[in-house]
Amino acid sequence: MKSRYRTYRRKGGLYYAHDASTGKQHSLGTRYRAEAARLLAALNEASHSQSMNLQIARVYLSASNPRMAERTWGDVFGELMALKTGVTRDRWETALKDAAYRGLLSRNPRLR
C-alpha cells in the first residue's frame, strides 16, 4: 500500500508533510529528522487504519488524565463557565437551565 504522506525539508530546516491525495502541505513543526519520521509514520498510520484511531485517542486521553473517562457534560460545561464573565456568563447559566440540556448534563461525553 502506498503511503499517503511524504516528508521533505525546506531551506530553513523545518520538515513538512505533503499529502499525496490533496496536494496540501503542512509543517511538522520540527527540525529533527527522527522526530519528523515519527510524526510522518503517525500520519500515514492514521490514514490507513482510521477505525483504530479512536481507540488510540482514548488510551492517550486516559493516560494523560484518568478522570477523563468519568467526567460528564455537566463537568465540561462547568469548566467552560469558569472562563466566562459578565453578560456572557449569564447567558450560559440561562441556557443550561433549559430543558434541552437536562438529559445531557449527566451523560458522559465519549469520543465517537
pLDDT digits (tens, 9 = 90+) for 24-79: 999 999 999 999 999 999 888 888 777 777 777 778 877 887 777 778 888 888 88
At 106, is the pLDDT very low, low, confident or very high (cuts 50, 70, 90)?
confident
Mean pLDDT of the chain: 86
What type of residue sits at position 61?
L
R_g over Cα of the chain: 20
Q: Is position 39 within any domain?
A: yes
Q: Give all strands of the β-sheet with 15-19 in edge-to-edge order.
A: 5-9, 15-19, 25-27
Q: Is position 34 within any domain?
A: yes
The 8-class DSSP code of residue 68 comes to: G
Total structural domains in the chain?
Answer: 2
In this prediction the pTM is 0.50
Range of the domain at 20: 5-48
